[in-house]
Amino acid sequence: MEGFVVETFGKFAKLRTDKGDIVVKVKGQPPEVGKLVRISDQPLLDKVYLAEKVLQLKSDSPSLPSLEPILRVIKRFRFDEDAVLLSQTVQAVQNRTGKLDRDFYRSLARYYETAEDETFGLWLFTLSNPHIFQSLPDSEAPIHVYIDRSRHVFRIDFVKDSKPMVLEGSVGQHQIVLSFSQMLSTEKMEELRERLSKHFTIVRFVLGAGIDGLYA
């Protein structure tokens, strides 16, 4: 895979590829912006940049200065896209409060990883509109809820039987559409449909990204 360096910040470099953005942490001096870089586990050229792949994103990503404080405190994301969604939440808070300190980012990491500190969660919820993030306790790992009120879309991810799962959706005036990374049992799907039908005229369930399937 090849990509052009579109941005650098400290030890981080962002590569733009035909499959989206890749963020790497470089050991040593990062390559210059505009340079074409080939990504390989077994480099053949004499000049190489040793780097750790940090994020692989499906689309264009936020600036590295906005991602770097999050990457510094959260070493492992459940999904790489979480970093983008958290960055949007942080930016919304920062627009209201001004520059955020290290204590904020440490609290954010703890909230993301453990769902502890309800006081911080409520404070974050209050100030981050329209980009909402909530971390809720669950048996295996926290449930993560991301809401973009401006676009009327949401995403929920959780861990079931040690496997991460994603539910994405959009809300209209009278309908809700949910996209599942993996379908739940028929009983649970019916239970969810019945609950949502109390609030929406149309409830649609779609299975997987790029998979043809509809449960209505």
* Structure confidence by residue, pLDDT tens digits, 55-79: 999 877 899 999 999 999 998 999 9
pLDDT tens digits along 75-99: 899 999 999 999 999 999 999 999 9
Q: Please report, for the chain, the start and end positions of each structural domain, with discontinuous segments joined by +.
A: 1-58
Looking at residue 39, its pLDDT comes to 80
Q: What type of residue sits at position 141?
A: A
The strand ranges marked E within 47-198 are 51-56, 131-136, 143-148, 153-160, 163-171, 175-180
pLDDT tens digits along 138-183: 999 999 999 999 999 999 999 988 999 888 999 988 889 988 877 7
Task: State the maximum Cα–Cα separation within the chain, in Å, rounded to a whole number.
Answer: 64
Which pTM does this prediction carry? 0.84
Sorted by sequence, the CB contacts under 8 Å of residue 109 that are 6+ apart come out as 73, 74
Looking at residue 150, its pLDDT comes to 92
Looking at residue 210, its pLDDT comes to 39
Q: What type of residue sits at position 131?
A: H
> What stretch of H or E contains 4?
strand 2-9
Phi, psi of 115 (to 5 degrees): 65, 20
Q: Which of 84, 90, 91 is nearest to 111 (CA)?
A: 90
